[in-house]
Chains A and B, each alone.
Chain A
Amino acid sequence: MTTDVRDMLQDIAEAAPCRPDAWARNARSRAAQRRRRQRVVGAWTAVGTAAVVAVTAGATWPFSDRSSLPGAPYVIEDPGRSLPSVLDQPIAAAAALAVDGTRMFLVDAAGDGERSLPDHVGGHEVPDEVDAGCLPALSQDGSRLAWADCNVDHPVVTSLSVLTLSTGDVQRVPVTGPEFRSDVGGTANLSLVWSPDGTAIALLNANVAAVVELTDGRLTPVSEGFAMQAVWSPDSRRIAVFDNVLAPGAIGAGVFSRDLRTKVNVQALVPRQEVGGTWVWGPDGDTLSTSVLHDGKAEIILVPADGRGRVRRIELKGELAYSTGKVPSLRGWRGGRPVMHVFPPIEKRSPGGWVTYDPAAGQVEPLLAVENDVWVAQIPTDILADQPLGTVQARPTPAAS
C-alpha cells in the first residue's frame, strides 16, 4: 500500500496537544523567569580545583542528595550581586562559561569567583536574554575566549575576536575567504570550536562548517550541507564534521585532515534517532565516541576515526541505564572514564548534571550539579579531562535579605 505523505502528516498532526491557555500562561512565565534570573538566581560556583556546582532546592537526579557530592566548600553567589568584569579583574584561565538568563559569566579556574563578560562579547546583543545561538567559546585550556564579530543586522562573519583572559587584551582577526553567515533563517545560530592547539577555530551555523586559521584569518569551508557538529582530534591534526547525511540506519562523520584536503567517511550502523548525545573524540585519540540507545539499552560507542575496524560498545549500567527516559549524553573522557550529562525527568525542566562513569562497577560519581536556570555552556576540554574536580566542598548560601 502506498500513501500520500501529505495526508499522513495531517493525520499524525491530529494527535498534537492542544492547550493554548496553558501555552500562553507558561510562555509568560518563562519570559518573566528570564527577566528575573539576573536578580534572583544565584550561581553556585565551585572553587579550588575548578568545577561549577549549581544546586536547586528541587531534586535533580542523581543529585537530589547534596551529601552525595564530593566534599569541600563551594562559594555561592549573593543573588543580584554584580560581578567584576574580566577586563578589570583578569584571570589566568576559566573553568567554565555559564549562562544565567541574561548574563554570561566565567568561573575562575583558580577559585577566585566569577567574572562578567563585556556586553559586546558574543556578537549578538540581546537585551532580554542571552542568545544561546551565538555564544563565545573558551579555548580548550580555558585561557582565551573567542567570538565572531557579527549580529542579526550584519550576519556575515567579518572577523573573530580573541580575548586573552590573563591580560584583557582583545585581538581582532579579520576573516578572509568565502562568505560565512552566522544566522539561519534570520536567527542567530553560530558555534565556535577551538582546535586544541589554539591555532584555529571551526565555525558552524548548522548548515555549513568552516575553519579559520587564527594566524592569518583565512577561512576554508569544510563541507556543504547540515554540519551539525565539529570535533577536533586531540592533536589538532584532524577534524570530524558530522553532516548527518548518511545512509539509513547509520551515524557518522567526515574526518578531515588538518589541511582539509583529504576526508575519511566514518560510519556506525546505529539508527540515527537513537543517538543520545554529542560526539567527542575518544580517550585514545583514534576513535570518535558518543552515546546511543541500542536495542533498548543505553551505551557508548567508539568508532575508529580511520573508518576501519570494529565499533566498540560500552553498556551503561546502574544509574545510567536509561532510567530517566533519556539517553545520557557523552561530554568527554576523564582518566579513561566517560563523563556523562544525565537528565532528570522532563517535567523537572532541568539539565540535570554531569557525572563520571565507571563501566566496570556500573557506578557514577557526580562532577557537576546544574540548577534549573543556570546553563553550564562550556567546560574547557583540558580542565574537564585533567583537573581533580572530585575534591570540591560545599557550604550553604546565605539567605538573601
Chain B
Amino acid sequence: MSDEPSTFEEFVAARGPTLARSAYLLTGDRHLAEDLLQSALARALPRWSRIEDPEAYLRRVLFTEHVSWWRRRRRLTEVPLDDHDAPARGDGADEDVPRRLAVEAALRSLTPKQRAVLVLRFYEDLSEAEAATVLGVSVGTVKSQTHVALKRLRALAGVHPDLSLPERN
C-alpha cells in the first residue's frame, strides 16, 4: 500500500503516452482515447499490486474494452462529430497531410475489430498469435481480418499492396 501510489503514477507517466497512442489509433478520437485509457487504468488500479505485467494487462483491457464499447453501447455510443480534432502539426510534413487524412478516413471505415487487428499487428508489432491472444480469437480470424482490413485500406487509401510482416516466434 505504501509504495503503490508512486508506482502507479510513475507507470502512467512512463508508459501512459504509449498506451494513449494505441487508444487513439483504436478510437480515432482524442477524447475517446483518453476516456478509454482512463477507464482501463481505473479498472487496473484496485488490482495494481497483483498485476505482474501492467502494460500487457492494460493493453489487453484497452483492446477488449474498445471492442466491447461498440457492442455494448454502454456509455459511449456516440459517433464523434469532429473527425479531425487532432492538433495541427507544422513540421514540414504538409505534403503528407492528404495521405494521412485518407488513411485516417479509411481506418474509420473499418470495424472495431479490424482496427484492433491492424493496430496490434502493424503498430504494436505483435505476431498473429500474440494478437489472437490479446483479442481472444483464433489465429485464423486474425489472418482473415487482417486481409480484409488491408484490402479495404488499399482500396480507400492506397497503402502498400505488398505489405506483409514476417512471423515471429
- Asked whether A and B interact, the reply is yes
Binding site for B on A (CB under 8 A): 1-6, 8-21, 23-24, 26-28, 30-31, 34-35, 128-129, 132-133, 181, 183-187, 189, 191, 204-207, 225-226, 228-229, 244-245, 248-249, 271-278, 293, 322, 324-327, 329, 341, 343, 346, 349, 351, 375
Contact B136 A184 (CB under 8 A): yes
Hey, which chain B residues are within 8 Å of A245, CB to CB? Answer: 111, 145, 148
Contacting A at CB under 8 A, from B133-169, are: 133-137, 141, 144-145, 148, 150, 152-153, 155-161, 163
Q: Please determine whether B79 and A276 come into contact, CB atoms closer than 8 angstroms.
A: yes
Smallest beta-carbon distance A154→chain B, Å: 15
Contact A273 B24 (CB under 8 A): no
Which residues of chain B (1-58) have a CB below 8 Å from chain A?
8-9, 12-13, 16-17, 20-25, 30-35, 37-39, 41-43, 45-46
B89 touches A14 (CB 8 A): yes
Which of A204, A207, A229 gathers the greatest number of chain B CB atoms within 10 Å?
A: A207
Could you tell me which B residues sit within 8 Å of A by CB distance? 8-9, 12-13, 16-17, 20-25, 30-35, 37-39, 41-43, 45-46, 60-61, 63-65, 67-68, 70-82, 86-87, 89, 93, 96, 99-100, 103-104, 107-109, 111, 113, 118-119, 122-123, 133-137, 141, 144-145, 148, 150, 152-153, 155-161, 163
For A34, the chain B residues whose CB sits under 8 A away are 42
Nearest CB of chain B from residue A40's CB, rounded to whole Å = 17
Contact B64 A184 (CB under 8 A): yes
A327 near B161: Cβ-Cβ < 8 Å: no
Per the bound structure, the CA–CA distance linking A345 and B63 in Å amounts to 24
CA distance A335 to B133 in the complex (A): 46
Q: How many A-B residue pairs have CB under 8 A?
A: 225
B79: which of A11, A133, A274, A375 is its contact (CB, 8 Å)?
A: A274
List A contacts of B72 (CB < 8 A): 132-133, 191
B70 to chain A, nearest CB (A): 7
A-side contacts of B67, CB under 8 Å: 184, 206
Cα distance A381–B13 in the bound complex, in angstroms: 46
Looking at A10, A15, A30, the one whose CB has the most chain B CB atoms below 10 A away is: A15
Report how far A392 CA is from B113 CA in the complex, Å. 41
Q: Which of B21, B23, B118, B158 contacts A2 (CB 8 A)?
A: B158
Contact yes or no, B78 A3, CB < 8 A: no
Cβ contact within 8 Å between A27 and B41: yes
B127 nearest CB across to chain A (Å) = 14
In the bound complex, do residue B46 and residue A16 qualify as a contact, i.e. CB atoms below 8 Å apart? Answer: no
Partner among B41, B81, B156, B160 whose Cβ is within 8 Å of the Cβ of A23: B41
Return the contact of A19 from the options B34, B76, B111, B137 (Cβ within 8 A): B34
A30 near B39 (CB under 8 angstroms)?
yes
Min C-beta distance of A251 to chain B, whole Å:
10
A13 touches B24 (CB 8 A): yes
